[in-house]
Amino acid sequence: MIQVRFHGRGGQGIKTASQILGSAAFNSGFQAQDFPLYGAERRGAPIVAFTRISPTPILERGPISNPNLLLIGDETLLNDSQVAPLCGADESTIVFVNSTKSTEQIQKQFPFPAAPLILDLTDRCQNFLGKGHILSTALATAGARILGNIDLKDLLEAVKMELGQSLKPETLQKNLELTQDIFHSLSPCTIPEKPIKALASSPLIELKQTPVHEAAPIILAPGNMALRKTGNWRMQRPKIDYDHCNKCLICYARCPEGTIKIDEDGRPQIDYEHCKGCMICAQECPGHFIQTIRESEGAHE
Amino acid sequence: MIKTHKRVSDLHPEEIITPGTGLCAGCGGLEGLRLALKELGKDVVICNAAGCFTLLSVYPFTPLQGSWLYTTMGGPVPAAQGIRDALDVQLKKGKLPSQENLQVLVVAGDGSSNDIGLGPTSAALHRKLDFIYFCYDNEAYGNTGFQLSAASPFGSSTQTSPSTHEHPAGAEKMKKNLFDIWKAQDPTYIATVSPREPIDLSNKFAKAKTMSGPRMFICMSPCPTGWGFDPKDAHVIAKLAVDTGIFPIKEYFEGKVVHTKRPRKRLPVEKFLERQKRFSHLFYPERCEDVISQIQKNVDDYWSHFE
Ligand SMILES: Cc1ncc(C[n+]2csc(CCOP(=O)(O)OP(=O)(O)O)c2C)c(N)n1
Ligand code: SF4
Ligand code: SF4
Ligand code: SF4
C-alpha cells in the first residue's frame, strides 16, 4: 500500500487533489481511499488531505502519519510548527515541494530527511489557468507521476471526472493541458516499501470527575487570540511603498483583520504575524501603492 | 451631541477585535463587525448565534476585549434578554456600579436572523428589549457549507439550491425583507450598513449607541468562499451591491426611512452578479435573460418608491 499525504491551504483545492489522485489510481486498477481532515478553519488556513492506494483492499482508516509520499503545496508551510508537514517523514519518504527554490537552497533551510523533489507548480498554474493558487490538478499530477504506476490517460480521465461537473469546458481543457505539462516535467520514483509497524497498545484513559467551573470553557484573558499567528495563512504578501503612500488610511479602514496599525507618523504598518494575505488593501489603495509579492519571496526581505 | 465621522482617519483608533481569528481571509462580515465594535467599544457583551462567527473565539482564545456568550442558532436573543435582565436587577439592587453596565449586542448570521431565531427576536421586540442586533448577512448558511437561507437572493445558487434543469434560477424565492419585518414592530432604530462605507457604518453605530431599546443592523457581508470571488475583490463586490441598488443603505428612525448613501446613477444589476460564482449559471452556458431582468425589475421596483 502507498500512503500519500497532501499539505496546503483552504481554497487551494487540496481535498480535490487527493480525490483526483485517488480516482486516477482507481482508473489504473488500484483500490483507493481519499479524504481531507477538516478543522474549524477557513480559506487560507492550513489543510491536510490523504490518499491511500493499494492493489488489495484497504482496511486501514484514519490520518496517515508515516507517508510514503508527501506533497507540499506551499513551501511557506514548512516554516510552520503547527502544521509541521515533514512530521512522520523518514529517509524513505519521497517529499515533493511546490517552490521556486533549488533543492540545495531549500535543504539548507529545512530539515528534510532526504533531498526533496521540487517544481514551481504555482507558476505553471498561473500560466495555464491564470490562477496560481488553484493547485488541485497540479498537485495530483505531481503525485501520480512520482508514483509512476498511474497512466497519463487514467489521470486525465480522473481530472475530467472530478472537475468536469463544476468547470466550464474551456477551463477543464486548460486543466488537462496543465496535467500533461506537469506529467512530462517530472520523472517517476521508486517508492520503497515501508514495513507496517504493529500498533502499540496504550493504556485506557481514566476519566476523572471535575467540578463544573473547571469543565466549562471560560476564557479570562481578553484579546489573547493575538497569540495565534495567522500570518502563516498567507500565499501573497502586501508591501507598502512608503515613498508614495499619502497616509489616506483607506487600507487601514478596509483590512478585515485589523492588522494594519497606524504609527506615530500616521503611516500604515502591516502586522505580518497576523495578516492573512487577502490583498484587499492592495486592491483598495487608491494610488496602488501596495504591491503584491509571493510570500516565499517576500518572507526573506 | 453625537460626534460624526467625516474621514477614515476619524475612525476610533482602538481595535476591539484582535487578529488571529479562524474566519476566512477577506471575510466582509468580520470587517463590518470590526468597524462596529470600534464604535461600540469594550463595554459590550456579545451574544453570538452558532454560525461562521463561532470561529471568532475558539477555546482557549478570544479576540475580544469584552465578554462573549455563545448560543444555539435560535438562542442569541433570549440570551441577550437574560443578560439584560440580570444587569438591570444587579444595577437596581446597587450590587453593580453603573460604570459596569454593558451594552448587550447580538451577533448572528442571516440564517439565524431570518429563520430559526426570528420568533424569539419578534418576542423581544414586542417587549422592547434594550439591545443592539448585528446581523452579518452573507445570504446563506455559511458555516455549514453555504446552504439556502431565507436571505439567499432570487437567482443565486447555494449547496441546496443549485441551478438545475427543473430549477434553472437556483434560489427561486425572493430574499426575506428583514428590515421591514423589524420595522413593523417599531423598534428604536434599524440600519443597513456595508463594510465598503466605513464612515456611514460608524456614524450609524455612534448614533445607535446613544439610544436605548431594540436597535438593529443588517450588514451586507461579501463572502469570498460562499459567493465565489477572489478575497481581494470583497470591497469591489460590496461597492457594486450599493452602486447597482441591490443593497440599499438606509436607516429607520422615528417613523421614517432615509437612504443615507444613494447610488447616484444605478448600474445594471449584472455588474454585481457577473463577478460571483453563485450567479454564474445566469451567464453560462446561456444568458438567463428572464432571471436577470427579473432581478433588475425587483431592484427598479424597490427604488421607484423613493425616486
Ligand atoms: C438549532 C441549530 N440548528 C443547526 C445548527 C447547525 N449550524 C451551525 S452554524 C449553522 C449555519 C448558520 O447560518 P447563519 O446563521 O446564516 O450564519 P453563517 O453560518 O452564515 O455565519 C448551522 C445550520 C445549530 N448550531 N443549531
Ligand atoms: S491606502 Fe495606500 S496611500 Fe492610503 S494609507 Fe494605505 S498605502 Fe498609503
Ligand atoms: S492583505 Fe492587507 S487587508 Fe488583507 S489581512 Fe493583510 S493587511 Fe489586511
Ligand atoms: S464563509 Fe463567508 S461569512 Fe463565513 S467566515 Fe468565510 S467569508 Fe466570512
Q: Note whether A144 and A269 are same-domain residues.
A: no
Query: Which residues of chain B neighbour A256 with C-beta distances below 8 Å?
Result: 23, 25-28, 30-31, 34, 195, 234
What SS3 state is found at A194? coil
pLDDT confidence tier of residue A280, bands split at 50, 70 and 90? very high
Q: Cα of B78 to ligand 3 centre, how many Å?
A: 36
Distance CA B179, CA B191 (A): 8
- Could you tell me if B11 lies within 8 Å of chain A, comparing CB atoms? yes
Q: Do B235 and A254 touch (CB under 8 A)?
A: yes
CB crowding B253-262: b at 16 or more within 10 Å, else e:
beeeeeebbe
- Could you tell me if A227 lies within 8 Å of chain B, comparing CB atoms? yes
What SS3 state is found at B214? strand
In this predicted structure, the answer to whether residue A218 has a pLDDT above a threshold of 90 is no
Q: In terms of CA atoms, which chain B residue is nearest residue A134?
A: B230
User: In this structure, is residue B3 part of a structural domain?
Assistant: no
Q: Do B61 and A228 touch (CB under 8 A)?
A: yes
Number of residues in chain B: 307
Distance CA B192, CA B222 (A): 14
In this predicted structure, the answer to whether residue A277 has a pLDDT above a threshold of 80 is yes
User: In this structure, is residue A140 part of a structural domain?
Assistant: yes
Rama region for A108: left / alpha / beta (φ>0; ψ in -120 to 50; rest): alpha
Q: What would the pLDDT profile of B136-185 be if each residue is shown by its tens digit?
A: 999 999 999 899 999 999 999 999 999 999 999 999 999 999 999 999 99
Q: What would the pLDDT profile of A110-163 be if each residue is shown by its tens digit?
A: 999 999 999 999 999 999 999 888 999 999 999 999 999 999 999 999 999 999
Distance CA B136, CA B24 (A): 14
Distance CA B25, CA A236 (A): 12
Q: What would the pLDDT profile of A149-158 be if each residue is shown by its tens digit?
A: 999 999 999 9
Q: Note whether A63 and A172 are same-domain residues.
A: yes
Distance CA B86, CA B88 (A): 5
Any atom of ligand 2 within 6 Å of the Cβ of A240: yes
Q: Note whether A141 and A262 are same-domain residues.
A: no
Distance CA A94, CA A103 (A): 13
User: In this structure, is residue B276 part of a structural domain?
Assistant: yes
pLDDT at B3: 67
User: In this structure, is residue A192 part of a structural domain?
Assistant: no
Q: Note whether A118 and A244 are same-domain residues.
A: no
User: Domain limits at A59?
Assistant: 2-185
| Residues 181-220, chain B, touching A (beta carbon < 8 A) | 195, 198
Domain count, chain A: 2
Collect all residues with Cβ–Cβ distance below 8 Å to A177 and sequence separation of at least 6: A128
pLDDT at B172: 97
Q: In terms of CA atoms, which chain A residue is nearest residue B230?
A: A278
- Mean pLDDT of the region A212-229: 85
Q: Note whether A146 and A86 are same-domain residues.
A: yes
Query: Which residues of chain A neighbour B275 with C-beta distances below 8 Å?
Result: none
User: In this structure, is residue B1 part of a structural domain?
Assistant: no
CATH number at residue A109: 3.40.920.10
Query: What are the pocket residues of ligand 1 if the criterion is a CB atom closer than 6 Å to any ligand atom?
Result: B 49-53, 72-74, 108-112, 116, 138, 141-144, 149
Distance CA B210, CA A80 (A): 46
CB crowding B47-57: b at 16 or more within 10 Å, else e:
bbbbbbbbbbb
User: In this structure, is residue B2 part of a structural domain?
Assistant: no
pLDDT at A79: 80
Please report, in tens digits, the pLDDT of each residue of chain B (307 residues total): 566 888 888 888 899 999 999 999 999 999 999 999 999 999 999 999 999 999 999 888 999 998 999 999 999 999 999 999 999 999 999 999 999 999 999 999 999 999 999 999 999 999 999 999 999 999 999 999 899 999 999 999 999 999 999 999 999 999 999 999 999 999 999 999 999 999 999 999 999 999 999 999 999 999 999 999 999 999 999 999 999 999 999 999 999 999 999 998 999 999 999 999 999 999 999 999 999 999 999 999 999 999 8
- Mean pLDDT of the region A187-196: 86
pTM: 0.86
Q: How far is B79 from chain A (nearest CA, A)?
A: 17
Q: Which residue in the set B15, B34, B232 is minimally distant from A280, CB to CB?
A: B232
Cβ atoms within 10 Å, residue A121: 25
Beta carbons of A37 and A65 less than 8 angstroms apart: no
- Could you tell me if A167 lies within 8 Å of chain B, comparing CB atoms? no
Query: Which residues of chain B neighbour A275 with C-beta distances below 8 Å?
Result: 19
User: In this structure, is residue B117 part of a structural domain?
Assistant: yes
Q: Note whether A166 and A233 are same-domain residues.
A: no
Of A159, A185, A211, which residue constitutes the final position of a domain? A185
Domain count, chain B: 1
C-alpha cell at B137: 448577512
What SS3 state is found at B136? strand
Beta carbons of A50 and A61 less than 8 angstroms apart: no
Residue of A257, A273, A285, A295 to mutate, ligand 3, most atoms within 8 A of C-beta: A257
Q: Do B11 and A278 touch (CB under 8 A)?
A: no
Closest listed residue to residue A94, CA positions, set A67, A63, A122: A67
Closest listed residue to residue A142, CA positions, set A70, A76, A66: A70
- In the chain, the amino acid numbered A147 is L
- Could you tell me if B164 lies within 8 Å of chain A, comparing CB atoms? no
Query: Around A297, how many Cα atoms within 13 Å sit in the side-chain half-sphere?
Result: 10
CATH number at residue B175: 3.40.50.970
Number of residues in chain A: 301
CATH number at residue A267: 3.30.70.20
C-alpha cell at B263: 447610488
User: In this structure, is residue A207 part of a structural domain?
Assistant: no
Query: What are the pocket residues of ligand 4 if the criterion is a CB atom closer than 6 Å to any ligand atom?
Result: A 42; B 23-24, 27, 29, 52, 138, 142, 221, 223-226
What SS3 state is found at B175? coil
Q: What would the pLDDT profile of A38-90 be if each residue is shown by its tens digit?
A: 776 677 788 999 999 999 999 999 999 999 999 999 888 898 777 899 999 99
Distance CA A88, CA A81 (A): 14
- In the chain, the amino acid numbered B90 is Q
Beta carbons of B187 and B248 less than 8 angstroms apart: no
Q: Note whether A35 and A141 are same-domain residues.
A: yes
Instruction: Give CA separation, B180 vs A73, B16, B115, B215, in Å.
Output: 48, 31, 15, 13
C-alpha cell at A221: 484573558
Q: Note whether A28 and A136 are same-domain residues.
A: yes
User: Domain limits at B122?
Assistant: 8-305
What ipTM describes this predicted complex? 0.95
Of A185, A211, A241, which residue constitutes the final position of a domain? A185
User: In this structure, is residue A152 part of a structural domain?
Assistant: yes
User: In this structure, is residue B252 part of a structural domain?
Assistant: yes
Q: Which residue in the set A219, A253, A271 is minimally distant from B19, CB to CB?
A: A271
Q: For chain B, report the end-to-end CA distance as a whole number of angstroms.
A: 31
Q: Do A219 and B9 touch (CB under 8 A)?
A: no
Of A134, A165, A185, which residue constitutes the final position of a domain? A185
Q: In terms of CA atoms, which chain B residue is nearest residue A169?
A: B285
Cβ atoms within 10 Å, residue B100: 11
